[in-house]
Structure 1
């Protein structure tokens, strides 16, 4: 894989993860937190791709398979699930 592509994936993941963490940590409400988790999902997808395309980063890829699932739960919980009445 091209080193340029791998480097772009790395920088995207770093930036997206930082922005998502900031959004979630600010606790601006369900909608904002949900969108923070959407950004985390994109970051996890990019890190899985990078982890399996770079010979030396397989551990990051495997870790982000699990983080992808966790972040999908966050999207479901904050954006897709109907809030229970009462």
Structure 2
């Protein structure tokens, strides 16, 4: 595998994960948080690729398989699922 491609996957995965974490931490609302989870998904995919194509990254690849599932749940919850309507307090 090309060393350049592996470096791109590794650094994109790291940078995208950091950017997504920043967006989530800013608590900008449901839609921006949902898009942060989309960025997390791309980060996980990149790090899965890097982990399993690289001789030294199997652990990161395995970890990101689990994180991919978690991030897909986040995309579903924040971008796809309709927000549940809760009964007003005291009603």
Q: Same fold (TM over 0.5)?
A: yes
Provide TM-score, normalisation by structure 2: 0.92
Query: 2 CA distance for matches of 1:59 and 1:75?
Result: 24
The size of the alignment, in residue pairs, is: 86
- Look up the match of 2:38: 38
- Structure 2 counterpart SS, 1:52: helix
- Determine the structure 2 residue equivalent to 1:28: 28
1:64 and 2:64 correspond: yes
Match of 2:5?
5
CA drift at 1:85: 2.0
The equivalent residue for 1:85 is: 85
| Aligned structure 1 segments of 4 or more residues deviating by more than 3 angstroms | none
Distance in 1, Cα, partners of 2:14 & 2:68: 15
Q: Which runs of 5+ in 2 are unaligned?
A: 87-91
CA RMSD of aligned residues (A): 0.7
